[in-house]
Amino acid sequence: METAPNRTPVSPKRLAIILSASFVLLILCAGTLVVHTANSGGKIYPEISVLNVEIGGLTRSGAIEALTRQFGDSLDGKSITLKLMSRQVVVPVRSIDALADIPATVEAAYLTGRGGNPFQNTANYFRHKANPHEIPLNVSYNLSALFTLLDTIALPEEVEVEDSFFTVENGILTVDRGKSGLAVDRDAFKELFGSRLSSLNFTDMDVELSTVQPEPIDIDEMYAQITLPPLDAMYLPGDPEPTVLPGREQVITSKNSIAVILNEPKNRYEIPVNSVKPEKTREYLEERLFRDTLASTSTSFAGSSWERVSNVNLTVNRVNDTVLMPGETFSYDEAVGPRTPQNGYQLANVYINNKIEVDYGGGICQTSSTLYTATLYANMEIVERTSHSLPVAYLPGGQDATIAAGYIDFKFRNDTEFPVKILASTNGTRLTVSIMGTDDEKRTVKLYHDTYNYTTFKTVEEYDETVPVGTKRIKQSGAGGYTVSSVRKVFVDDKEVKSEVLPKSVYHPMDRIELINPGDKGKPFDSTTNQVVTDEDPTEPIDPAEPTTPVTSADPQPPQPPTEPDNPAEYEEIVLSIDDV
């Protein structure tokens, strides 16, 4: 016979607990279901409103529609008057691009209470249902435009704070605690103004000034700085001229002795201290800035066309007052800019393929050549320099410098420890370039030129029907070619301290071009029976001679023609009449 298992009866108390727990679980599940239904339906939790407009239980689109009806035009024509002491300014909301961003406001309302797990969201749901929740109206605006209007009343009343500082000069440690100022707290103002807009409160708004205290002196930090080793003063780039950053003296004293003095209730202290001065003080550098004329060179542009003179003056103005800091490189091509009519340049004679042609910018190389010669005598470092393809009339061979946009430039570097300045000017028919700087050693610079490799020019006939039969016209006088090797020597107290080989100068021969009538082709010309018509006035030949003495900056010499060609007079004719770049 089977025996039935023993069953322990459930006590009434335990049964009550089980039933209570089941009921709570059922309620939670039901609440979760309700919240889930609300979430899945995309509705805002209950009892949420915007400026007293209830949007709880609405979908996003429904809430946007409700708020648009209520606040869509709430900013139209509105303004807020800002008042500061006796000043005030009206801020039309349109002037700061204020806009009621209703979609953003609805999104903030929809996310309120969401974001947790299902049980947390359920708790938040019923919490909002029991406790109404207000969402601010989201209003965007142009903060920069608002601050511009604020500044019209704030800046006249604000007092700039005077920062605390300390200096050491001539054995005096000066400590200044600074002075407090008055200013509008822009961050606090922004929050308050934004709150006004969000609540559509357009009543007058008082703006307050707050006291701004200077940063207190940190004695430990100050002591660490004033006891550093001495530091030389230095030049800093400035406009228009460099400024001098003061050096640093080293203080020799104890921190406690300074701390005791600073405990006295004063705003400014001047404390005598033992100090070590730097080698180069501010006064040392200021006294030497552009003190000396390192070199000055002058050339003539007499006889030049007005277009060429215009180009010379243009480049003079563009290089004048140029300051080069120590180590800085000057580019003539960059300084004078593109040679175009839009940049102010005129048509004038230039050298192209060993011939005289016309192009924009003719004459600008007289400025670069005069500058090059000045930099040679100023003992500047020559970075890049190219001679003309043909000789020039205004400087000795070896002292000219040509440029061609993009691939030939004249550059020099300030390799001194002081700034230098270019001074360029014209007076009458003279162009003068000076290099100002500092020369404590009183250097003397001399240039030595050696001319060789002479070549003669060719005579070329061209036909021109405008030339009368039986006559000849000179279109271009010929010029012989030659090479110049140059050396720069620097002397201090009559002792040579530097000898430098400069870039070689190679000048090509230039053809003599004679124009005749086509009807005279092949006919011999007799100088005693045929008249020769030239475009230029004849010039007296100059006896050629190779330089035998150094040329100095104070005594520039005319171009030195070659001595070997059989007819140096023809060479001199072209050299003295060239209207060169």
Tokens linked to 135: 């969402």
What is the Cα–Cα distance from 521 to 470, expressed in whole angstroms? 10
pLDDT of residue 361: 86
Tokens linked to 237: 């780039």
**Long-range interactions of 232-240: CB distance < 8 A, separation 24+:** 232/278, 232/279, 232/280, 233/278, 233/280, 233/281, 233/282, 233/284, 233/285, 234/280, 234/285, 235/285, 235/289, 235/325, 235/326, 235/418, 235/419, 237/323, 237/325, 240/321, 240/323
pLDDT of residue 23: 57
What is the Cα–Cα distance from 93 to 74, expressed in whole angstroms? 11
**Long-range interactions of 496-501: CB distance < 8 A, separation 24+:** 497/443, 498/379
What is the Cα–Cα distance from 26 to 23, expressed in whole angstroms? 5
| Dihedral pair phi/psi, residue 211, rounded to 5° | -75, 130
Amino acid at 148: T
pLDDT of residue 469: 86
What is the Cα–Cα distance from 420 to 423, expressed in whole angstroms? 10
Tokens linked to 194: 């934004």
Q: Could you tell me if 457 and 479 are in contact, meaning their C-beta atoms sit under 8 angstroms apart? A: yes
Nearest-10 Cα torsion for 255, 261, 266, 267: -30
What is the Cα–Cα distance from 170 to 247, expressed in whole angstroms? 11
* Largest pairwise CA distance in the chain: 169
What is the Cα–Cα distance from 313 to 87, expressed in whole angstroms? 54
pLDDT of residue 539: 41
* Per-residue pLDDT of the chain in tens (581 residues, 90 and over written 9): 555 555 556 566 666 666 665 555 555 555 554 544 445 458 998 889 999 899 999 999 999 998 999 988 999 999 999 999 999 999 999 999 999 999 999 999 999 888 655 655 566 666 656 578 888 999 999 999 999 999 999 999 999 999 999 999 999 999 999 999 999 999 999 999 999 999 999 999 999 999 999 999 999 999 999 999 999 999 999 988 999 999 999 999 999 999 999 999 999 999 999 999 999 999 999 999 999 999 999 999 999 999 999 999 999 999 999 999 999 999 999 999 999 999 999 998 888 877 788 888 899 999 999 999 999 999 999 999 999 998 888 999 999 999 998 889 999 999 999 999 999 999 999 999 999 999 999 999 999 999 999 999 998 889 999 998 888 888 888 888 999 999 999 999 999 999 999 999 999 998 888 898 998 888 887 655 445 443 444 444 434 334 333 444 433 333 444 433 333 322 222 233 333 45
446: which residues sit within 8 A by CB, 6+ positions away?
Answer: 488, 489, 491, 550, 551, 552
Q: Could you tell me if 509 and 457 are in contact, meaning their C-beta atoms sit under 8 angstroms apart? A: yes
DSSP letter (8 states) at residue 393: S
pLDDT of residue 277: 93
What is the Cα–Cα distance from 223 to 369, expressed in whole angstroms? 55
Query: For 465-488, what is each residue's pLDDT tens digit?
Result: 999 888 888 888 888 899 999 999
Question: What number of residues does the chain have?
Answer: 581
Q: In sequence order, what DSSP letters do the residues of 414-477 get, joined into one string? A: --SSS-EEEEEEEETTEEEEEEEE--TT--EEEEEEEEEEEEPPPEEEEE-TTSPTT-EEEEE-
The alpha-helical segments, DSSP class H, found in 199-274 are 219-226, 255-262
DSSP H or E segment with residue 367: helix 364-377
Cα of first residue to Cα of last residue in the chain, in angstroms, is 136
* Backbone torsion region of residue 96, taken as left when φ is above 0, otherwise alpha when ψ lies between -120 and 50, otherwise beta: alpha
How far, in Å, are 114, 372, 491 from residue 37 at the CA level?
13, 89, 99
Extended beta strands in 66-163, E state: 79-84, 87-92, 99-100, 133-135, 139-140
Amino acid at 257: S
What is the Cα–Cα distance from 483 to 378, expressed in whole angstroms? 24
pLDDT of residue 12: 66
pLDDT of residue 477: 83
Query: For 405-425, what is each residue's pLDDT tens digit?
Result: 888 999 999 999 999 999 999
What angle do helix axes 118-130 and 12-40 make, rounded to 10 degrees? 80
